[in-house]
Chain A
């Protein structure tokens, strides 16, 4: 029996159209827009101004606090301006515009493909390097990685969990990394284990990627400390709490962080970035991005410089399909619909999904028939139908009492609702309101 989490979950059509496409390097764009806030936490502070010459890997915005991350230039060229522009959130955000000239890298960055396995086993130095390289969770949550590697006082990590689940339909970037960059990935995992001072790491991979499971099993055979754990395909298994439950059986208490049960979770893409930062001195300036969709001519996986407009990716995959109705940054379950194709690829962009017109529209909302499906599929054991009702009626005490803040916004409830009710829309509203109320109470 394959492992999985117990409570709830759904199984949307997988549609992994680009699973067999090897990672290709995307040609350099003419210009990039690099937002200074590509992570959870404080935005970085821009260090460059109009007219400055920058190289690839140069620090151009400095981390704005403990929970924040450095931003490096992903291209070489001239800074055109530091200004506001729309990112995938739909809001104008500050960022740095750079006109690309050549491809000149900073001194000391190793861009060769040579595998370097040996590393200095010094937790503090590793974490400093990861911090300096501006690494954040590449699964999409973009939580600064160095923060995860420094458990709060009195807490100790017991194990590292590597998230190779990729439970979002369509996305294949992690899958390709596991297939094509496995040796580097494993060094990255060892570095992370060393930083956390743990003896054991698990790589959780869903069973729909048997090639990745077999490949990593083969490579980890001599190393008892890293174990591949095949998992039953079920969404949202890539959620931190669900993955921990699936692999270890431990349940992160409501409101607590994974470290409360001794676990630290990192995405495979993040582990690869850690390898490059520590072994190659390379900051996080590029990542693998899936470009996909049912009408996309060539669904592909590209290695893309941060700040590249998504239009470049779309062009490389065969252009915007005639029947494009919606462009999503991320997967179809949790991704964000974007307003135009100028928005940039950022550290958290795992994929660009182009949906057809007919897939893009929502159905008319019908009344709730209390079919219990939303309750059954909720991986947090909540009552989405109830939370929607109290959020709609603005009864915030009831929303809080019924643990609205536990919601991980996976969207399983809205996905499954036969009456097409916008459950998660209202729950998000409720979460924002209740979150504000809780914060103001603490002050």
Chain B
């Protein structure tokens, strides 16, 4: 026999799953929400998204090639995904150069300074977003009115910001809510905000797709959103004049986007279900605390980043249940 055979250790078969498929499926899951943001904010949404994706991929390529001297891996989809998530977390009116700076921080500092995909402790898109929020607070919190709004203004505030402003001014919640979109409107996405966070419904649709394709599991989003619901619900029951009912918090701001697409970032979340429970509850609690008692009206970005920092510790102490291990 003259044919050369391959010799390799078992297993000899492999699932069709791959890192690229995971990344592109997450991107696909985000497309409905992106389409909605184009409907709401028009061309600006396309501009921000394309710029963010292009900048992230360009920085990844340049840094990997010329600074890290590696073969660039921009086709794996992770840089593009970071770009989309960064775009989803900023107002549609953000100036282009700020987006590019945000992309540089996200990719350069958030991801590649730690060694690239798989090694970064913090969610790169959120690193970029928080950097922008702290550096350019005015631009990052002035939201363009949607194309379909009836008010005669150029910018507006998010429901969460309006709520915080009202409560801080001593108004009862019930009075503040009169000027805010209803839960139904926030569910399908008639509110202002960062471009990817407006339609909770379409974000949930993407979640269903990712569950179907087994890209992620239900655990982290459920733990995060469940904690927000329970904790905010408890506050609301104690004092409904000061605290809004919990569904408002699930539908407003970045709760859905954060819980479904950012907290579930594989690289920066725990390896076991028990660990994911701690992680998810931590994000939920911190989000509710920041939103109700902190300086910022929105806190899920900070909450995720803070809990990202705990992940190595969680992985070191929370172990999976072993077969035949001590009960």
What residues make up the interface of A, taking CB atoms closer than 8 Å to B? 7, 10, 12-13, 90, 169, 241, 245, 251-256, 311, 320, 324-328, 330, 332-341, 353, 355, 359-363, 366-373, 375, 378-383, 385, 403, 406, 409, 411-412, 414-420, 422, 424-425, 428
Contacts and interface: CB of A to CB of B under 8 A. Distances in A.
A371 B266 contact: yes
B15 interface: yes
Given A340-B1, A381-B320, A369 B7 contact: no
B1 A341 contact: yes
B152 interface: no
Given A380-B323, A403-B322, 13 more contacts: A332-B11, A335-B10, A337-B9, A341-B1, A363-B14, A366-B19, A367-B117, A367-B118, A369-B118, A370-B267, A375-B271, A383-B320, A415-B15
Which secondary structure characterizes the binding site on chain A? loop
Nearest to B76: A366
Interface string B3-46: 10111111111110111011000000000000000000000000
Interface string B295-327: 000000000000000000000000111111100
A361 B6 contact: yes
A254 B11 contact: no
A370 B118 contact: yes
Contacts of A311: 1
Given A325-B6, A369-B19, A382-B320, A334 B11 contact: yes
B24 to A, nearest CB: 12
B256 to A, nearest CB: 22
Contacts of A373: 17
Contacts of B271: 370, 372, 375, 383, 385
B5 A368 contact: no
Nearest to B118: A367
A299 B155 CA distance: 70
A333 B14 contact: no
A420 B22 CA distance: 13
B116 interface: yes
B119 interface: yes
Nearest to A422: B9
A422 B9 CA distance: 9
A10 to B, nearest CB: 8
B236 to A, nearest CB: 34
Contact of A425 (B1, B5, B9): B9
A358 B193 CA distance: 49
B239 interface: no
A369 B6 contact: no
B272 interface: yes
A341 B18 CA distance: 33
A251 B324 contact: yes
Q: Which of B5, B22, B116, B269 has the most CB of A within 10 A?
A: B5
Contact of B5 (A325, A378, A422): A325
B3 A324 contact: yes
Given A320-B1, A370-B118, A416 B17 contact: yes
Contacts of B320: 375, 378, 381-383
Contacts of B119: 367
B183 to A, nearest CB: 33
B5 A254 contact: no
A340 B5 CA distance: 8
Residue among B14, B21, B116, B271 having the largest count of chain A Cβ atoms under 10 Å: B14
Nearest to B219: A372
Nearest to A415: B11
Contacts of A417: 14
A380 B12 contact: no
27 contacts: A10-B15, A254-B324, A320-B1, A332-B11, A333-B10, A337-B10, A337-B12, A339-B7, A353-B12, A359-B12, A360-B6, A360-B8, A361-B6, A367-B117, A370-B266, A370-B267, A372-B271, A378-B320, A406-B322, A409-B10, A411-B10, A415-B14, A416-B17, A417-B14, A418-B21, A419-B18, A424-B11
A254 B323 contact: yes
B6 A334 contact: no
A256 B325 CA distance: 11
Nearest to B216: A371
A369 B324 contact: no
B145 to A, nearest CB: 39
A324 B118 contact: no
Nearest to B321: A381
Nearest to B14: A415
A369 B12 contact: no
A241 B323 contact: yes
Given A326-B5, A340-B1, A369-B266, A332 B12 contact: yes
B13 A359 contact: yes
B323 A406 contact: yes
A332 B11 CA distance: 6
Given A366-B76, A367-B119, A332 B324 contact: no
B104 to A, nearest CB: 22
B6 A337 contact: yes
A411 B15 CA distance: 12
Interface in B87-146: 116-119
A150 B286 CA distance: 60
B10 A336 contact: yes
A339 B3 CA distance: 10
A318 B23 CA distance: 43
Contacts of A368: 118
Given A251-B323, A327-B5, A379-B323, A419 B19 contact: yes
Contacts of B269: 370
Given A253-B324, A254-B325, A380-B323, A428 B9 contact: yes
A342 B18 CA distance: 36
A254 B78 CA distance: 39
Given A332-B11, A370-B118, A375-B271, A420 B5 contact: no
A254 B325 CA distance: 6
Contacts of B3: 320, 324
